[in-house]
Homo-oligomer: A and B are copies of this chain.
Amino acid sequence: MAVVGLGPAGEQWLTPEARQVLAEATDLVGYGPYVDRVPQRPGQIRHRTDNRVEAERAAHALSLAREGRRVAVVSSGDPGVFAMASAVLEAAEDFPGVPVRIVPGLTAAHAVASRAGAPLGHDYCVVSLSDLLKPWEVVADRLRAAARADLVLAIYNPASRSRTWQVGAARDLVMEHRDPATPVVIGRDVGGPQETITVTTLGELDPSQVDMRCLLIIGSSTTRATDGGTVYTPRRYPA
């Protein structure tokens, strides 16, 4: 079976490899809105699931594969980045003999970065703000470490209906080590019909602008926002 990355949105970022694996699958398994992004094919069965039951969904997909079905588990972005690949590989340890192939995809951080310029042009750190699966103290430690080491930060899952105070807390932690004028990019629904890219600063980052469809990029000390609204981090770092 395969775990397939669809990219952040649209067909413009779906790789030929992913397209082919999807076309050859007998069964698609995944969170409903992601399954809906795959073009319909006669005879192909769609198993649309909730977003919250990753382990169950993985086991279901592996069972189908063990029965001989050609299964594609679909994931937005890159399946290896805060998505289905880990859940499937973990579940696959109980399904010896079912080979799992991971088909990579464009991840949201790179799509958002490209719309703003090149904020990830130098060393960076990728952190999920979700504390559903890890304690907040671990998140906070990592934000502090990245801030101290002057790494650009790409932040996934910054907010949700129930996750509301974390963006403000992250901003305050990073600001202990970084100038309030540091450029920040808020990418929302990148590649989708409601895409917005907002360039602001760390000091002016308003958590109420950030929801579950957003990805945040916080610059380092060398990240530059031009008058034209382009944000990039030079590869050169001063001695």
- A residues bordering B, Cβ < 8 Å? 7, 11-17, 54, 78-83, 85-87, 89-90, 92-93, 96, 100, 102-107, 110-111, 113-115, 117-128, 133-135, 138-139, 141-142, 144-146, 148-151, 226, 228, 230, 232-237, 239
Contact at A121–B85, with CB atoms within 8 Å? yes
Which of B11, B96, B104, B148 contacts A16, CB < 8 Å? B11
Which of B96, B113, B141 contacts A104, CB < 8 Å? B113
Could you tell me the distance between the alpha carbons of A150 and B140 in the complex, rounded to whole angstroms? 12
Which of B15, B89, B148 contacts A106, CB < 8 Å? B15
Q: How far is the CB of A124 from chain B (nearest CB, A)?
A: 5
Which of B103, B226, B233 contacts A114, CB < 8 Å? B103
Contact at A15–B13, with CB atoms within 8 Å? yes
Q: How far is the CB of A166 from chain B (nearest CB, A)?
A: 14
Could you tell me the distance between the alpha carbons of A10 and B16 in the complex, rounded to whole angstroms? 10
Closest to A123 in B: B127
Which of B54, B80, B96 contacts A120, CB < 8 Å? B80
Contact at B122–A125, with CB atoms within 8 Å? no
Q: How far is the CB of A149 from chain B (nearest CB, A)?
A: 4
Which of B82, B138, B149 contacts A146, CB < 8 Å? B149
Which of B80, B110, B142, B239 contacts A80, CB < 8 Å? B110
Contact at B127–A126, with CB atoms within 8 Å? no
Contact at B17–A13, with CB atoms within 8 Å? yes
Residues of B within 8 A of A120 (CB): 80-81, 126
Contact at B145–A118, with CB atoms within 8 Å? no
Contact at A104–B93, with CB atoms within 8 Å? no
